Amino acid sequence: MKNTAGLNFVVPVLVLTLAAAGPVFAQSASESMHQAGESSENAASSAGHAISEAYHGTATAVKDSSITAKVKTALHDDKITQSGDIHVTTVAGVVTLRGTVASSEVAEHAQQLAEETTGVKSVKNKLKIVTAGNVAN
């Protein structure tokens, strides 16, 4: 009879304990699932931003290449600047002119041609003036 009385006490306590613990386990699992969902969402958002930045970087590089080509063509086709040794680079719409030209007038004209080119935001004129007696090092 003692064993039966002990079981009569232990079984209800065990059932009550499990019944009370059930919602705690369910809540913990729910929170874990919620956190996992947020982590997945954050990872997807980060991947989306990386793709967007790569796209915009590529689009900018394509635009810069187009601008460089237009400026080089304008300089080559112009009678004043075609004899100069002018190198053109473009980064985010900013054109840099490097090389040598015969006079400051040619350098200024090259800058003007570049500034008039569609898509150019600004021009850095780093051209050096070299005359027949003054050879660049």
In degrees rounded to 5, what are phi and psi of residue 4?
A: -70, -40
CA end-to-end span of the chain = 112
Edge-to-edge strands of the sheet including 122-129? 85-91, 94-101, 122-129
Indicate yes or no: pTM above 0.85. Answer: no
Amino acid at 43: A
Half-sphere exposure of 50 (CA within 13 A, CB side): 6
- Under 8 Å CB-to-CB from 117, ≥6 apart: which residues? 67, 70, 71, 74, 95
Would you say 88 and 102 are in contact if contact means Cβ atoms under 8 Å apart? no
Domains and CATH numbers, the chain: 2-129 (3.30.1340.30)
Encode pLDDT of 66-106 as tens digits: 999 999 999 999 999 988 899 999 999 999 999 999 999 99
Rg over alpha carbons for the chain, rounded to the nearest Å, is 37
15-49: per-residue pLDDT in tens? Answer: 656 565 555 555 566 676 666 666 666 655 666 66
Higher pLDDT, 123 or 10: 123
